[in-house]
């Protein structure tokens, strides 16, 4: 048992698929634990915000792409054990398509992006929670 404080975080993530390929972003983060890890577009759900609305907002902010045909896949709990606290993250996972157009990355949020076959996604250095989502939902 640990006496570390637990912080609950609600996150909406999008498995964006276009032409059979899955979108991954290379994360830019001050914490080396997460820096240069690959992940799905997504982010925190604001107070009172519906998870699907949060997912759509985050995809636009991070990629410039419009979400189409969103489907809720499920909720996944992941815990990160940090030196000073435990992050208990509730990931609201969606699968969706993307409107036409090129990726316009949010420079402060990611280094790069890639479209990859879903079966090849686990070869990337993914955030552990995102790897869990691939194994669970794809």
Contact 56, 135 (CB under 8 A): no
Which pLDDT tens digits describe the chain residue by residue (138 residues)?
Answer: 568 999 999 999 999 999 999 999 998 888 888 889 999 999 999 999 999 999 999 999 999 999 999 999 999 999 999 999 999 999 999 999 999 999 987 667 778 999 999 999 999 999 999 999 999 998
CATH code for the domain in which residue 46 is found: 3.90.79.10
Q: Is 1 inside a domain boundary?
A: no
Q: How many domains does the chain have?
A: 1
User: Whole-model pTM?
Assistant: 0.92
16 pairs with which residues across the strands? Answer: 96
* CA separation for the pair 16, 121 (Å, rounded): 12
Residue numbers of the domain that contains 76: 6-137
Measure CA of the first residue to CA of the last residue in the chain; give whole Å: 33
* CA separation for the pair 89, 75 (Å, rounded): 10
Q: Which residues contact 62 (CB under 8 A, 6 or more apart)?
A: 25, 41, 42, 43, 105, 106, 109, 110
């Amino acid at each position: 048992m640990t006496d570390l404080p637990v912080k609950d975080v609600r996150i909406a993530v999008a498995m964006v698929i276009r032409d059979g390929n899955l979108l991954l972003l290379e994360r830019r983060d001050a914490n080396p634990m997460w820096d240069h890890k690959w992940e799905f577009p997504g982010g925190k759900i604001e107070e009172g915000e519906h998870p699907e609305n949060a997912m759509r907002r985050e995809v636009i902010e991070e990629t410039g792409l419009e979400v189409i045909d969103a489907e809720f896949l499920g909720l996944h709990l992941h815990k990160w054990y940090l030196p000073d606290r435990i992050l208990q993250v509730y990931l609201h996972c969606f699968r969706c398509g993307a409107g036409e157009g090129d990726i316009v990355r949010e420079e402060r949020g990611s280094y790069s992006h890639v479209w990859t076959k879903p079966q090849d996604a686990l070869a990337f250095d993914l955030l552990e929670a995102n790897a869990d989502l691939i194994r669970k939902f794809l």
